[in-house]
Amino acid sequence: MRRSLILAVTAALAATGSAVYIASSASAAAACAPAWSASAVYVKDNSVSYQAKNYTAKWWTQNEVPTASGQWGVWADQGACGGTTTPPTTPPPTTTPPTTPPPPTTPPPTTPPPTTPPPVSGLPKHALIGYLHSSFANGSGYLRMADVPADWDIINLAFGEPTTATSGDIRFTLCPAAECPGVESEADFISAIRAKRAAGKKVLLSIGGANGQVQLTTTAARDKFVSSVSAIIDKYGLDGVDVDFEGHSLSLNTGDTDFKNPTTPVIVNLIAALKSLKARYGANFVLTMAPETFFVQLGYQYYGSGPWGGQDPRAGSYLPVIYAMRNDLTVLHVQDYNSGSIMGLDNQYHSMGGADFHIAMTDMMLAGFPVAGNTANMFPALREDQVAFGAPSSVSAGNGYVAPAGVQQAVTCLVKGSNCGGYTVRSGTNPNFRGLMTWSINWDKFYNWEFRTSHESFLNGLG
């Protein structure tokens, strides 16, 4: 999150398009669906037939043989069919991708999404998530915890910051009265958090922000991070943490090219620290993340410094953290603002400020994508209930403000597959899409609660 506006980096990469075959949707009839084709692209709920059986795709796939799918694979066995199509009995060999292929027209996630069931989070099906300026003033006005409206389902306390960039020692204090007139006492703040939690709300410590660079370069910093964050959680009675590492907090060392097996200390130590916190607090620990697009979706084109060096080493650097924590992650809400143009799964550049950007960026998290265009190195889709997107609550909150109608158009497209404009969603319909995050609750109040009043009833009406 930004206390002030920042400049974002715009990536540029030329890519060529290719035709994509989309199979027909599933049918309840016993007749055989169109024969499976190794060269065809299938998305969620598409049906095919193979060796006298019908199968339905669970997510995006290409060249994955239905009979090899298994219980946890992409294809769901729908039973025998009586059609006359004769599919091949042996799939064509898979073509080995070049070392640095351009991003494909659509991504083949050969690694399935997490197979663990969604945890019991206590969140509503569609949540409203916001950041509360608790430790600083920035012109939007201070808001006491007790005065935060009940519509906010997750309240992220901004921010816990380190004593130095590499210490791992995270501190959180309420905004000084000289900066924030009307700030409550610490005892009242803790009491209000307790009341929010009793009402079913989640209150998290958001760590980092624009000014809080956190680099866990050593195991000592890792351990200090765990102990200091735990102390804050225990003192204030919080539900968990939000990881809002920005700037130069995360980057990848040269040669660290496999997001599934990272070797860079700041990445490895952060993953270990988050796993330690999860182990300490158990199943009810809430973990959210708020990366910028540069650190996530840009990974479709670039990952770290690249195979020969020279690229920005921060590109895609959140991906190994998200992947490692995928079974413990409650919500990922990428900041769809303060961003340069980013290439989507259609190999077109998308720019912030409209529904299209929210749709294209979020579809990447719901469909999965090849990292740096390498189809042998797939970032798998997250569960629907783990995905939200972030939007500024007002024009003062950040670059890329979208009026409520545009935000709701994007959500409707992602949830129901309708009103998507010119973008074709790869992830299909996502009825369990988690919801909306905004920076910030304070700025929303400053602008007469436009974000909250527009979107809370809308989210509740999605069913």
- Residue 418 structure tokens: 């309708």
In this predicted model, what pLDDT tens digit does every residue of 223-276 receive, in sequence order? Answer: 999 999 999 999 999 999 999 999 999 999 999 999 999 999 999 999 999 999
E runs forming strands in 14-59: 41-42, 47-50, 53-57
Residue 73 confidence class, pLDDT cut points 50, 70, 90: low
- Residue 379 structure tokens: 């970032």
- Sheet with 53-57, side-by-side order of all strands: 47-50, 53-57, 75-80
- Residue 392: enclosing H or E segment and its boundaries? strand 387-392
Do residues 277 and 230 lie in contact, with contact meaning Cβ atoms separated by under 8 Å? yes
Q: What's the pTM value of the predicted model, to 2 decimals?
A: 0.78
* DSSP strand pairing (369-370 vs 378-379): antiparallel
Spatial distance between the Cα atoms of 108 and 70, rounded to a whole number of angstroms: 18
Spatial distance between the Cα atoms of 57 and 415, rounded to a whole number of angstroms: 18
E runs forming strands in 40-184: 41-42, 47-50, 53-57, 61-62, 75-80, 127-133, 154-162, 170-171
Q: Which of 161, 246, 384, 456 is catalytic?
A: 246
| Phi, psi (degrees; rounded to nearest 5) at 184 | -80, 170
pLDDT above 50 (res 2): no
Do residues 246 and 210 lie in contact, with contact meaning Cβ atoms separated by under 8 Å? yes
Per the model's pLDDT, the better-predicted residue between 118 and 303 turns out to be: 303
> Tokens 């609750």, residue?
441
Between helix 219-236 and helix 186-198 the angle, nearest 10°, is 80
In this predicted model, what pLDDT tens digit does every residue of 170-184 receive, in sequence order? Answer: 999 999 999 999 999
Residue 308 confidence class, pLDDT cut points 50, 70, 90: confident
Is 184 one of the annotated active-site residues of the chain?
no
Do residues 163 and 124 lie in contact, with contact meaning Cβ atoms separated by under 8 Å? no
